[in-house]
Amino acid sequence: MTIGIGLPVDDPAVLHDWAARADAGPFATLGLLDRLVWHNPEPLVTLAVLAGATARIRLQTEVLLAPLRATALLGSQVATLDRLCGGRFTLGLGIGGRDDDFAAADVDPRGRGARLDAQLRDLRSQWAGTTGVGPAPLRPRGPEILLGAFRPAASARVARHGDGLLCAAAPSWAEALLATVAREWVAAGREGMPRNVAQVNVARAAVGRRRRACLDAGVLRVHRRRGPDGGGPADRARRRRRRSAGLRGPGRRRAGLLPLGAGPRPARPARRPGALLRHSVGARH
């Protein structure tokens, strides 16, 4: 198993430092989220800058909101970034779920799943050189594509168009999601298995009782809200333990690390990614 790390979005001054330290350390991937009506840096521009500050580590969007973007321009930008970083780019895509992002982009959110399906077909065609839009990416089919998925239609999209799944689901229902994607993969006649990437939000926590409470508390509350039925008895009990412990941040051990808080703005990140890995609750590598 490899472990990637998310870039801090509330402190641009530390982006180069994080990227350089992660590139020199144990991490496999640098990830950056995408929102329009928020304070985060635009991911493709940011990762293009960081491509020149790194040599080994992979760069990844987690996830880029493709329906907000013009497809031909997106394909050109992605292919350019893929060439600039020497093929180290992974394109994580999703449909988005924030009405304010779509309003700001003057895009109708209705039908965004069908729009993403069409975009994926058009991107592959563009990268194959059939449209005349350049440049060409390093790989004939373009960079690796991971797709975010929660619903059945999105699971089928992974099998039809993607190279793998970018999963941000709670542990209580992630297993079922992974199994669904695997079935869709076989049904679509794909060879091998999809590459599964788990995304998890973490926060630094003090040792002792508070650390234990964090471990018992479960995943970040946004994942609970996204659950298909709000979670079972164990999930509700875990939320009660979190409230009784006075916790508002994340704390469940999983594979990937994103330095985010539970509030409207991210928690201030540790200055060194190595420190985040050592001190993140339950993190292993």
pLDDT of residue 211: 57
The whole-angstrom separation of Cα 262 and Cα 246 is 13
| Among the ranges given (11-25, 123-137, 263-277), the one the predictor scored with the smallest mean pLDDT | 263-277
91 vs 23, 30, 78, 105, 158, CA distance in Å?
A: 19, 12, 8, 21, 13
Query: Phi/psi zone of residue 35: left (φ > 0), alpha (ψ -120 to 50 degrees), beta?
Result: beta
Q: How many CB atoms are located within 10 Å of the residue 248 CB?
A: 15
Query: What is the mean predicted confidence (pLDDT) over 122-130?
Result: 97
126 vs 44, 102, 121, 280, CA distance in Å?
A: 18, 25, 9, 41
pLDDT band at 53, cuts 50/70/90? very high
Helix axes 171-187, 152-161, angle to 10 degrees: 50
Query: What is the mean predicted confidence (pLDDT) over 208-228?
Result: 45
Higher pLDDT, 233 or 198: 198
pLDDT of residue 214: 53
Give the position of tokens 């508070």: 210
pLDDT band at 198, cuts 50/70/90? confident
Does pLDDT of 146 surpass 70? yes
Does pLDDT of 46 surpass 50? yes
Whether the CA torsion 270, 21, 17, 201 is positive or negative: it is negative
Higher pLDDT, 161 or 1: 161
Structure tokens at 14: 């530390």
pLDDT band at 223, cuts 50/70/90? very low
Query: What is the mean predicted confidence (pLDDT) over 117-122?
Result: 98
Q: DSSP label at 111?
A: T
pLDDT of residue 140: 86
pLDDT of residue 240: 56
Residue environment code for 210-231, b if the CB has 16+ CB neighbours within 10 A, otherwise e: eeebbeebbbbbebbeebeeeb
pLDDT of residue 38: 92
Q: Express each pLDDT in 242-277 by its tens digit.
A: 455 443 433 322 344 554 333 333 334 444 554 444
Backbone phi and psi for residue 8, each to the nearest 5 degrees, phi listed first = -70, 140
pLDDT of residue 248: 40
Higher pLDDT, 124 or 279: 124
Structural Rg of the chain based on CA atoms: 19
267 vs 41, 89, 199, 233, 253, CA distance in Å?
A: 16, 27, 17, 29, 18
169 vs 42, 148, 199, 200, 204, CA distance in Å?
A: 24, 10, 8, 8, 21
pTM (predicted TM-score):
0.75
- What structural domains and CATH numbers belong to the chain? 5-203+254-266 (3.20.20.30)
pLDDT of residue 258: 55
Strands (DSSP E) found in the chain: 5-6, 29-32, 58-61, 64-65, 89-94, 144-148, 164-167, 195-198
The whole-angstrom separation of Cα 199 and Cα 159 is 19
Does pLDDT of 124 surpass 90? yes
Strands (DSSP E) found in 95-191: 144-148, 164-167
Question: Strand, helix or coil at 59?
Answer: strand
Query: What is the mean predicted confidence (pLDDT) over 80-97?
Result: 97
